[in-house]
Structure 1
Amino acid sequence: MAQEIERKFLLKNDDWRNYADSGQAMRQGYLIGAEKASIRVRTAGDRAWLNIKSATLGVERLEYEYEIPLTDAEEMLESLCERPLIEKVRYEVAWHGDVWEIDVFEGDNAGLVVAEIELEDPQQQFTLPPWVGEEVSDDPRYYNVCLVKHPFSQW
């Protein structure tokens, strides 16, 4: 069983950019948002994945991810996924032995910037960087699948 343990935070400022890599543009769309799971297609550069994630609230969820051909993913994004697509640039930031992923959203979700850290255990300790603000792990508005139905530009 694949388990994702992820905590999600808003940012206080842009100081994280001083530590970030060059970033990776991503496009993703949702094929179905069901009561028990979401099915996502994501592209990043010349790679693509199909992801199935349980629709549970909180920091722990089941997650399964499979690499698929880029051309298949692009076709699914254009013809099968709900709109708007999620467009973002993901930056990685190393901080005190952990890797933070900073998502800077574009398109209908422009203006939203979220930091995520994946953990091995829900009780795992980590050092909170000074640029990290309020935790929003339990707020479904910040889930990518919810940003399709209620984009940040409409809040």
Structure 2
Amino acid sequence: MQHLEIERKFLVGSEAYKNKATAVSRIVQGFLNTDPERTVRVRIRNDKGYLTVKGKGNDSGTTRFEWESEIPVSEATNLIDLCEPGILEKNRFEVPFENLVFEVDEFLGENKGLVIVEVELKHEDEHFTKPDWLGDEVTGQTKYYNSQLSKNPFGKWVQGI
């Protein structure tokens, strides 16, 4: 079975999303592999572990293969110890708006100050109304991919390193 992730990414225009969030979770994740053709991610979200494989995105960066499976958190913890340098930590806010859920990631650590919004769609050209707190679109800009943020954190961009 083919698993496709269709999503668009945005920066945040304001913190108005915080008052509208229906759930907040803590995420720690690392990458076992960050090859441009495929990434293998290990994630701990609250008290659950996940292993995810993502393929290379299409030309627009909107669609790519994604396979994910829940694994015991103890195994996820052990796998994070094997990950490439650059473990990411973030708080995720789930914000329902109209018929969609916008996931707002507030990054911590070396990526502190970066806030990215993702929205999953049913098809690439699906029309949706953007909440007023949504900022500039960054879909397809690889520097905003989590796998790249683990290698080149946002803190280094703003410091010009």
Aligned to 1:52: 53
Measured after TM superposition, the shift of residue 22 of structure 1 is 4.1
Aligned to 1:83: 85
Q: Would you say the 8 A contact 2:23–2:95 is kept in 1?
A: no
Runs (4 or more) in structure 1 with deviation over 3 Å come to none
- Higher mean Cα deviation, 49-58 or 60-69? 49-58
- When the two chains are superposed, the root-mean-square deviation of aligned CA atoms in Å is 1.0
SS of the equivalent of 1:145 reads helix
SS of the equivalent of 1:10 reads strand
1:4-36 Cα distance to aligned partner (Å, 9 max, x none): 001000011111111012410000000011231
Using the size of structure 1 for normalisation, the TM-score is: 0.96
Residues of 1 paired with 2:36 and 2:12: CA distance? Answer: 30
Aligned to 1:133: 135
Segments of structure 1 that go 5 or more residues without pairing to the other structure are none
| Aligned residue runs from structure 1 range 92-111, under 5 A | 92-111=94-113
Residues of 2 paired with 1:136 and 1:92: CA distance? Answer: 19
Residues of 2 paired with 1:64 and 1:142: CA distance? Answer: 20
Aligned to 2:27: 26
The answer on 1:69 being equivalent to 2:72 is yes
Aligned to 2:8: 7
Rate the CA distance shift 1:139–1:148 in 2: closer, same or farther, 3 A: same
Q: Which amino acid in the other structure matches residue 77 of structure 2? A: E
The alignment-based identity, stated in percent, is 40
